Amino acid sequence: MDAGTPPDSTPGEDGGTEPDAGTPPDAGTPDAGPWPTDAMLNYTRSYGVGTPQSVGLDEGLNLWLLDGHRIGVLRPGDTAPTWTSGVGQARQPFSRDSLAIGSTVICGGEAGRAYVGYRAAEMKRAEGISQRTYIPGPGEANYTPERYAEYQKGDLDAVRLQPDGTVALEEHIWRTTGASNAGKQIGIHNTNDFHYEEDRTVLSCARVTRGPYRGDLYITTNHGVTRIQGLTYNSHRHPGWYLITTEPDGSKAESLQCPQMHGLGIAPNGDVLVANEQMLGVLIPSGKLEEWDREYTWVGPTPWRFKGFNEQLNSQAENDLWRAFEQTVSGRYYLGSAEFGVWAMTPKSRSTGNWSKLAGLPMERILALKATDDGALYIGTNGAGLWRLEPDGVTLARVQEVSGQRVLQLVYEPTVTPSMLLVLTDQGLTVIRGN
């Protein structure tokens, strides 16, 4: 089966060679792209991609694969992926005291670039420091080299495709828009004050595939959602709420609740959809990266279009365990929970919604959702395979041709015609064309 021709090599700026990683498809005149247009094709059988934990496509339509400490790339024209081990945060064995406990997700970027997320352990409070995530810098009170080294753990690598198909570290992401962070090569942390190391584990990622901000990357972490352009980030936003408690002396104390955030989607109009364990939010991005973390709730350069919780399912303090958040072309929002099924939502106000649970699924455990241009919603379950909800919002059926019971990830590429839906399961990768 002819999947296209291998990329040529072109001169690099340093006088050497670098791969021609592919030309991003023209958003105005989409074509079929370099991959087979079969309505459904098992890439694990056809290309030997195995059973990776995460997959992604870059703008050049290179297929990226993540499998623990290994990164694989299947280029157009290749018959099998090329794997590289020990890159970036994976150059040390994974452990709690190493650079990472493990790898998490991979997303494509511009042609020939991908981003790899990692997991790090939660920080502990140090003597003399009241806040768990606070890290003093050199010359500051309570500074220690050991605590400062925590900045290097977890976070996100940018990696580059090499001429021979292998992968090399481009940069561990550290460049940001905040003045307090200038010149500090210490990974991803709060943009407005580098002392707060709150984004240590990357849980999901999504590349914007169309619209004025095409190419932007969003990652969700143990604390919020971070926006990335190229090698520069702005961290972070979160739909948090304040828990008020009574202290022993009778005084009131409040603490911001921002649990880990798995749910991440890009709406048809470019809004950013996020959901943590308790809340969900819809953010309207602006054209300036430095404005991403400016929190003025309903106003300002990056306001919330919606911020609330599912009061029909649980109280504010209880976990809804959201794992996916999508909006179909009809405008309806859908959220998938690790324990409570799929819920549809239409806003009543900026903070409340009309909620209804989707009936007909054989189980409640959901890991992935993906809305497609034909109006459908694909639903990835944790034990009952892949399901498709038709545009009518009622008709539901299992996609029997996709092997595997546990759907790990759904990635949609609408820049080619027919579009590509990557379905990653416990049995490998299948690509569905035309949705």
| CA neighbor of 416 nearest in space, from 43, 22, 51, 78 | 22
* pLDDT tens sequence across 267-310: 999 999 999 999 999 999 999 999 999 999 999 999 999 999 99
| CA neighbor of 369 nearest in space, from 400, 224, 361, 63 | 361
Q: What is the pLDDT of residue 254?
A: 80
Give me the phi and psi of 193, to 5 degrees please: -160, 110
Where do the domains of the chain lie?
Answer: 1-237
Percent of the chain with pLDDT over 70: 93
* pLDDT tens sequence across 241-271: 878 878 788 888 787 788 999 999 999 999 9
| CA neighbor of 435 nearest in space, from 379, 370, 386 | 370
Helix ranges (DSSP H) in 96-154: 145-148
Q: What is the mean pLDDT of the chain?
A: 92
What does the block give as tokens for 185?
A: 């090569």
Report cis status (omega within 30 of 0) of the bond before 362. no
CB 421 within 8 A of CB 432: yes
Q: What is the pLDDT of residue 30?
A: 63
What does the block give as tokens for 380?
A: 């990835």
- Residue 13 scores a pLDDT above 60: no
CB 75 within 8 A of CB 87: no
* pLDDT tens sequence across 179-230: 998 889 999 999 999 999 999 999 999 999 999 999 999 999 999 999 999 9
Report, as an integer, the average pLDDT of 48-62. Answer: 98
100-118 burial by CB neighbour count: b if 16+ within 10 A, else e? Answer: bbbbbbbbbbbbbbbbbbb
- Residue 64 scores a pLDDT above 50: yes
Torsion of CA 412, 414, 415, 416, to 10 degrees: 100
Distance of CA 232 to the CA centre of its chain: 16
Q: How far apart are CA 311 and CA 316, in angstroms?
A: 7
* pLDDT tens sequence across 101-133: 999 999 999 999 999 999 999 998 898 998 899
Report the predicted TM-score, pTM, of the whole model to 2 decimal places: 0.91
Going from the C-alpha of 306 to that of each of 177, 269, 271, the distances in angstroms are: 26, 14, 10
